[in-house]
Structure 1
Amino acid sequence: MRYEEDEEMIMSLRDWRQALRTPPTYRVGNSTLRIQTTFVTVIALIGLFVLLILYTTSKRNSKTAGYGLGSNDVYRNHYFPQPHEILEKITHQESADEYYNATYPLTPPINTPSGVKFRIGIISDLDTHSKSKLESNTWISYFKTGHLMWLPSTSSITVVWDRTDPIELKSTFGQSGRGMELSELVVFNGKLLSFDDRTGLIYEINLESNSAIPWVLLMDGNGMTTKGFKSEWATVKAHRLYVGSMGKEWTTSGGELQNLNPMWVKVVSTTGQVRHLNWDQQYKTLRRAVGVEFPGYVIHESGVWSELRQRWFFLPRRLSKNRYNDETDEFMSTNILLSTDQHFSNVQVTYIGEVIPTHGYSSFKFLPGTDDSVIVALKSEEDKGRSATYITAFHVDGKILLPEIKVAELKYEGIEFI
C-alpha cells in the first residue's frame, strides 16, 4: 500500500515537470492559438514604420499658402470654370483642413452673338446719408446690378443696368452714429463680400435673401485699437483676402500727423482669422514712384492683385505733393495706374486719359478672360456736397475702351463681377 502511494506521487511529479516544459494551449472553437510574442512585436514595429513613412510623405507634398508679400502660391482664374464650383484644398499652419471655393464670377458668363455677357454689381457709400430716416439705429446701402457686354474682336464694352430699383441693404451696426458706408465689393471663397469703412465690419452680401450679414470685424492699425478699420480696397491673393485702407498717414483736416493706422493691411483667411501687416514702406514706395513725399499724400481706394501677372495694381483716388487740406482735397483726383511686383521693387506708372479733378477712382476689377489686361473701374465724384458715380474701362497700357459714363447721382464705391 505504501509502495503504491509512493509510485503515484512519483507519477504526479513527473507529469508536473512535463507540463512546465510544454507551452500552454488555448482552444477557440476547434482551433488552437499559440501566443507568438516575437511575431506580434515584429508586426507592430512594421506597422509603425509604414505609418511614419506615410506621414512624412504627406507633409512633404503638402502645399503651404503664405500670408506674406513673398508668397508664390498661384491660382489662375479660369475664364469658364469646369466644373463651375471649383474647390481647392489649402494647407496652412493656421488652417489645417480648409477648402477654397474658387468660383469666379459667381454667375457664369454667357456667350451671345453680341459678345460675352457678364453679371455685375456695385455697392454704395452714402456717407452720413446712410442713416435710415425710417428706422432707428439702422443704416442702409444700395446694391445696384446690371450686365456688362464684352466683344473681344473689337475690344468694345457696353453696360446696361437693371431697370428695377437698387436693393436696399440694412444693418443695425454703427460706430459714432455712422455705418454701412460700404467701400468695396469682392468675391472671396465663393461669397460676395463688402466692407464698411466706418465700423470695420466685413459683410457677406447674400444674393438670395438680399441681406448684409456681418462676418469679420477688422480693428484699426495693428489691431490693438478700439476703432474700426477704415477699409477702402480689398483683393484676393493666394486664397487670402487682403484688405487695405487709404495708404496715407492719418492727419487732422489741416494736415497735422495723428497716427499711421491707415498704413496697415489686413489678411483674412477663409475661416475669418486675421493678420495685421505694416505696409508703411510699401505705400511709401508707391508714392515715391510719382514724386510724392510726406506731407504730400496719395490716397488709395482701389487695389487688385493679379495672380496671372504676379503684380499689384493700384488706381489712386487722389494725389497731392502738398499738405493735406479738406477744402482742396476734393480736386486732387488722378489719372494714373500703378503696378508693381510682389516685393514692391519695380513700380510702373501708366497714365490714363486726362485728369478730371473731381473724378477719382474708387474701385476696379480685371475683366475675366482678358488675361488681366482690361480694367473696368468706377470713379466717384464729390464736389461741394454733390455726389455722382461713373463707370469706365481701359487697357493696362492706358488705352481707353469705354469713356466715362454716369451711373447715378449717388456715390458707389465697389464693383464686382457677380
Structure 2
Amino acid sequence: MSSNNSDHQNEEEEAKGTKSKSGDSFSPRHSHTFIGSTFAIWSLIFLLFAAFASLQYYLPKAASSCLCPAAEFGRLTAQRAYNDSSFGNPKILPDGRIEYELAVVSDLDHDSKMEDRKETWRSFFRRGRLIFSPDIPSVQVQWAKDKQDNTLYSQLSSGGRAMELSELCVYDGHLLTVDDRTGVVYRMDNFKDMVPWVLLNDGPGNATKGFKGEWMSVRHNLLYVGGLGKEWTSVTGEFINYNPMYVKVINPYGEVLHVDWTKQYKALRGKIGIDFPGYMIHESGQWSDIHKKWFFLPRRASNDTYSETEDEHMGTNLLLIADEDFEHIQVRHIGPPGDGFRGFSAFQFLPNTEDDIIVAIKSEERGGKPIASYLFVFRLSDGHVLLDDQKFDGPYKFEGIVVY
C-alpha cells in the first residue's frame, strides 16, 4: 500500500509540474513573444505585397527602356531555330534579268466593312511580277490579269472597324500583316486565310485600345512593329499621349516587348528641324542587315501644328538613314517633291541587290478619301529613279508590300 501511495503521490506531483509548465507558456513573457512573431509575419506579408506592386509598376518601364530586346528574348529563341528560309524563289531569265513575285495589300478604311456579309470586314490582296534588269538597270511590273484581287476576310473588329491592313512582312517563314485598327497581327496562310497571331495593345502595353501598327521589319530574328511615330493629338493638334511612339518587338513565340521609341522618333524629325507641335508621320521603316542601319521614308512631315485637313498635302520625298543608336542620321531627297498629296506608305529592299534597290508604294488621299496608289522604285546608292510613280488600277490605298 505504501508503495502504491508513493507512486500515486509521484503521479500527482508530475501532473502538477506539467500543468505548471503548460501554464508558463501563457505567461506574459511568452505572450510578448507571440505578439512579436505575429507582427513579424504581417510585416513580411506587407513587404511581399509592396514588392509585387513595385514589380507591376516598374517592370513595364524597364522593358520599355530596354535597348537589347534580343538579349531579353534570348532564352526562349534559343529553344528552336528561327526559320530564315527565303519566302520566294526569284528566277534568273535567259537574258540575265531577274523575275520576282510581289504582292500588295490595301487599307480600305471605312469601306472595309462589307454590306452583304454580317460582321465581316475585308481587304484586297494583289499579286504580280517584278522584272529587274541589273545591267541597265530598269524595272518592269506586271500585275496578274487573269483573276481579280484576292479578298481577305476577318470578323475581328474594334469600334466597328477592322482589316485596315498596313504592311506585309515575311517573318519566321510566314507572311504576316497588321491591322492598324484592331492591333491584330495576322498570319496569312496560302495568301488568303487570315489567322490571328498576336494582339498588340497601344502604348506601353497597358491600354485597352489596339496599337495602330504602320510598319514592320525584321532585325536579329525579331519582328519590329512600329506606329505613326508622332504624338497622339486631337484633330486640331492638342497633345493627348505618346502611345504611337512605341515600337513592339515580338519573338517567334509571339511574346511582346513594348519599347519606348520617343527618343528615336524625335531624333529623326529633329534632323530636319522639326519639333512639337510640328510632326513627322511614319508608315514605312526597314532595318538592313547589310548596311546595319535603319531606313525610313516618312509619309508626311510639317513644322506646323497637326491639322487633319492640312495634313493631306504634307507628303515628303525624304529618306532618313539612322545607325543602330540613332546617333548619326543622314537625310536624302528622293525624286521631286511634287504637290505633297503623295506620300510613302510602304517599302521593301529588293532581294539579292545588297539592299541597294528599294521598291516603294506612295498613296494619295484627298478630302479624306483614297484617290490612288503608285509604285516607285529607286537605287539607294545614288537616288536614281528606276520606276516613277506607276499608278495602280483602282482608287485604292495600298499600304503594304512584299517582294520575294
TM-score w.r.t. length of structure 2: 0.80
Q: Is 2:377 the counterpart of 1:387?
A: no
Q: 1:206 aligns to what?
A: 189
Matches of 2:328 and 2:247, distance apart in 1: 20
RMSD: 1.7
Q: 1:404 aligns to what?
A: 389
Task: Report the alpha carbon displacement of residue 71 of structure 1 after superposing the two structures with TM.
Answer: 7.6
Matches of 1:98 and 1:235, distance apart in 2: 21
Matches of 1:166 and 1:185, distance apart in 2: 16
Q: Is 2:402 the counterpart of 1:416?
A: yes
> Do the aligned partners of 1:360 and 1:379 also contact (CA within 8 Å) in 2?
yes
TM-score w.r.t. length of structure 1: 0.78
**How many pairs does the alignment contain?**
334
For 1:96-245, list aligned pairs within 5 A.
96-104=78-86, 106-114=87-95, 115-163=97-145, 164-207=147-190, 210-245=192-227
Task: Report the alpha carbon displacement of residue 70 of structure 1 after superposing the two structures with TM.
Answer: 5.7
For 1:335-350, list aligned pairs within 5 A.
335-350=317-332
Matches of 1:68 and 1:375, distance apart in 2: 30
Matches of 1:68 and 1:119, distance apart in 2: 37
Q: 1:328 aligns to what?
A: 310
Name the aligned partner's letter for residue 240 of structure 2.
Q
Larger helix proportion of the pair: 2
Q: 2:61 aligns to what?
A: none
> Do the aligned partners of 1:71 and 1:238 also contact (CA within 8 Å) in 2?
no
- The 1:246/1:120 distance shift into structure 2, 3 A limit, reads same
> Do the aligned partners of 2:73 and 2:251 also contact (CA within 8 Å) in 1?
no
SS state of the match for residue 267, structure 2? helix
SS state of the match for residue 93, structure 1? helix
Task: Report the alpha carbon displacement of residue 95 of structure 1 after superposing the two structures with TM.
Answer: 3.3
- The 1:123/1:386 distance shift into structure 2, 3 A limit, reads closer
> Do the aligned partners of 1:91 and 1:98 also contact (CA within 8 Å) in 2?
no
Task: Report the alpha carbon displacement of residue 353 of structure 1 after superposing the two structures with TM.
Answer: 1.1
Matches of 2:271 and 2:281, distance apart in 1: 14
Larger strand proportion of the pair: 1
Matches of 2:108 and 2:198, distance apart in 1: 21
- The 1:91/1:293 distance shift into structure 2, 3 A limit, reads closer
- The 1:72/1:216 distance shift into structure 2, 3 A limit, reads closer
Q: 2:52 aligns to what?
A: none
Give % identity: 44
Task: Report the alpha carbon displacement of residue 142 of structure 1 after superposing the two structures with TM.
Answer: 0.6
SS state of the match for residue 94, structure 1? helix
Task: Report the alpha carbon displacement of residue 101 of structure 1 after superposing the two structures with TM.
Answer: 0.9
Matches of 2:134 and 2:301, distance apart in 1: 33
Name the aligned partner's letter for residue 171 of structure 1.
S
